[in-house]
Structure 1
């Protein structure tokens, strides 16, 4: 519990610093503002013959993609901390790896929620026909976000332990973007071949997108989903399995990675980075 409390404090400090640092503050606002501009121009365009506006249908997809990219952010931060020796210092502290993991989950999840709020609140004024006028819609949105982040952020921690330098993170972004593309985040997954439907449903990104559509879109749009159903029980089940697996595996992987860390390896990586700059 002491490690968890320390991680909670660490995460809050990192989150506060991200909103007082000019480059990070700029990154918090850049993507939401760009998406709001796109939604503004799409707000009056029809989505085929469904009677639904394109901006209305696109908003859940944008939120789902942002939430899914949280695991990329988690991986990038962990790799950067490994490269500059932060993980080595956490390793030297009793239960330091647990506190470090808790702190990263708090800071990344907090930043992600802030980014989503920056996008969603103005979007409510731009986009019409959303189904957030009831308590049920907001409740669904909140539990999908909470469970989705618990399911995906530990995956980001595991992936971050694989890469030794921040420059290698480009190898992670392409597969994640490909997974988003086949997960029906921006369009119904039923438009894909059957074998891609099955692959997309294995991973949590599809279920996060489905849950957000169920919270934001009118009930009439459920006809484009598999089985004409929002499948809330299946969403809880799949995201819950990924969350439990990630929370069990991530601390073990991080501890094993930390055991391989040493001052000489950190110095070697720092020397290589200096040579690249020079």
Structure 2
């Protein structure tokens, strides 16, 4: 419990530092800001024969992208960096330091995602409009966000434990590809059938579907697959990803921590210097 308390304290300190550092703030909000500006310009353009604007349909997609991309990639990236610079090795040298370290990183990552969601949702309601968060919608949005974070955070930890700085950067393109085919910014029903099947394997599509069900009017389900919000399927797929990730992540993290040593860190630095020169 002392390690968990230390991790919570560490996570809150890191979160406060992130939101008082201009560079970190730019990194977190640059892409959402650009996207919101584009959506503001598209707010009067409707999709097909519906009365829904493209911007209304895309805002839930932006929120689910923040959960999936930032939730996974932020944790992945920080694990890779901390392995490279020795932060993880120093945490290992402290009794129960690894528990406190991982609790802190989860708190920081999840907290940053929640803050971004709140700010982006609030701003989009003001500048775009067209949707509101009812009591039922707020409940739906809450469990979708919670399940979504449980689905993506463990895989961020898993990938961060096995990848290095170069390979983690290469992962960005496949992840953006998954986001592109998941109906996040354009209805999945307009895509080929085989792409629809591929997209439904990953949690990104279900995150988008869940956020749309929370924010859009009920008749917007007409442009979804099966003309339904499919809440049971959303819970099932996101829950399955969460269970698998939570079962695998502790083992991978323990193995990674067990292999961390001064010599392994020195070898990674030497390889990084060789690539640089």
TM bucket (normalised to shorter chain) is over 0.9
Instruction: For structure 2, list consecutive stretches of 5 or more residues without a partner in the other structure.
Output: none
Match of 1:63 in 2: 63
Deviation at 1:99, TM superposition (A): 2.5
1:171 matched to which residue of 2? Answer: 170
Name the residue aligned to 1:113: 114
Give 1:94 deviation, angstroms.
3.5
Matched-pair contact (CA < 8 Å) for 1:97–1:254: no
Alignment size in residue pairs: 276
> Hey, what does 1:233 align to over in structure 2?
232
CA contact (8 A) 2:32 2:62 kept: no
SS at match of 1:161: helix
Distance in 2 between the 1:19 and 1:140 partners? 28
Contact 1:4 1:99 in 2 (8 A): yes
Moved more, 28-37 or 134-143: 28-37
TM-score (norm 2): 0.93
User: Take 1:26 and 1:272, find their aligned partners in 2: how far apart are those partners?
Assistant: 31
Q: After the TM superposition, which parts of structure 1 deviate over 4 Å for at least 4 consecutive aligned residues?
A: 271-278
Which residue does the alignment assign to 1:154?
A: 154
Match of 1:96 in 2: 97
TM-score by length of 1: 0.92
State the alpha-carbon separation in 1 of the partners of residues 99 and 202 from structure 2. 25
**d(CA) in 1 for partners of 2:209, 2:58:** 13
Cα-to-partner distance string for 1:69-118 (whole Å, 9 max, x where unaligned): 12011111110011111111222333333332221111011111222222
Whole-Å Cα distance in 1 between the matches of residues 3 and 200 of structure 2? 35
| CA RMSD across the alignment | 1.8
- Describe the SS at the equivalent of 1:202: coil
Give the Cα separation in 2 of the matches to 1:6 and 1:128. Answer: 41
- What 5-or-longer segments of structure 1 have no aligned partner? none
Question: Does the 8 Å CA contact 1:29/1:118 hold for their aligned counterparts?
Answer: no
What is the deviation of 1:271? 4.3
1:19-55 Cα distance to aligned partner (Å, 9 max, x none): 1222112223322321221121011112221111111
In structure 2, the residue matched to 1:3 is 3
* Range with greater deviation from structure 2 (140-149 or 28-37): 28-37
Residue by residue over 1:171-199, the C-alpha shift from the partner in whole angstroms, topping out at 9 and shown as x without a partner, is 11111111112222122222233332222
CA distance in 2, matches of 1:143, 1:106: 18
Shift of 1:275: 6.1
Q: SS in structure 2 opposite 1:110? A: helix
Distance 2:38 2:67 in 1: 18
* Alpha-carbon shift at residue 170 of structure 1 (Å): 1.9
Measure how far apart 1:274 and its partner are: 5.3
Q: Using the alignment, how far apart are the partners of 2:99 and 2:243 within structure 1?
A: 16
Counterparts of 1:1-278 in structure 2, within 5 Å, are 1-70=1-70, 71-132=72-133, 134-164=134-164, 166-273=165-272
- Whether contact under 8 Å (1:35, 1:119) holds in the other structure is no
